[in-house]
Amino acid sequence: MFLQQLINGLMLGSTYSLVAIGYTLVMGLLNLLNIAHGDVFMFGAFLGLSLAMLNMPLYLSLIVGMIGAGVISVLIERLCFRPLREAHFLSPLVSTVAFGILLENVATQIWGSEPSRYPQTTDVAQFQVGPVLISSIQIIILATSVVLMVALDQFIKRTRTGRSMRATSENPQTASLLGVDVNWVTTGTFFVSGALAGAAGVLTALVYLQIVPFIGIRQGLIGMVAMVIGGLGNLRGAMLGGIIIGVIEVMNDAYFTASYRDMIIFGLFFLFLVIRPEGLFGAEEKRRS
């Protein structure tokens, strides 16, 4: 029973990690929150749903969801962040709240406010590994999430573009003097952030099998919790934070009651903000700097 729930928690937590990484990328670059990130997640899920309803294979739904969500995230950067660089620091946050509400209303007009069921576009096989039963969908979700996280981690560490992103995060003015195109890096970072949210949206739809235009509100909040637990601006911390929340959520539903779920998760959020605001890995990063 415990091992089965642990697998379920890892699967769910991996999708939370993708959302948290998107928050962390923008937070590390601009030191600001993209409040509309949860709604970018939602839009990616619905874009994937649209292709799935046309009997397109899952990988196409995933790709379209990622690209569409990435484009929307770039629009957020262009409309909500770039014009307000010299404004009060709260202005971009407020503008992303408005943009998120706009996305929810657009999604409601296109797909309706009632739950939309995600069709099964791939055959589901069950594998018995000792006491644990694993479905092919769970393997796809976990494998896709892990591949995306590892690929992003290596991209930022080992590529020239990744070094430019890190330099811009440290000091945009110095990076610009060294020849880094800060505007291009910012746009690329927002696209990657949105693409990860879109992937999480499609994968989460496979978990719950139905989505609504307001699903991004809770998923966005969960992503924030994971980011805070892992440490603000720490990508690997965000990955671990999402996994922790997924495991806690599944274990709570299995051994307690679902009504305690949000109380435990957001209670943990509050405790970290009060007792350890730097998160699990923030202190180490701070000592290094």
DSSP states along 93-146 = HHHHHHHHHHHHHHHHHHH-SSPEEPP--S---EEEETTEEEEHHHHHHHHHHH
Quick one: pLDDT band at residue 32, thresholds 50, 70, 90?
A: confident
Residue 286 pLDDT more than 70? no
Quick one: pLDDT band at residue 282, thresholds 50, 70, 90?
A: low
Q: Output the pLDDT for position 88.
A: 84
Report d(CA 89, CA 185) in Å as an integer.
20
Mean pLDDT of the chain: 89
How many beta carbons lie within 10 A of that of residue 110, not counting itself?
A: 11
If residue 91 lies in a helix (H) or strand (E), which one and from where to where? helix 90-111
Indicate the pTM of the whole model. Answer: 0.90
Domains of the chain plus CATH, in order, are: 2-114+128-288 (1.10.3470)
Quick one: pLDDT band at residue 284, thresholds 50, 70, 90?
A: very low
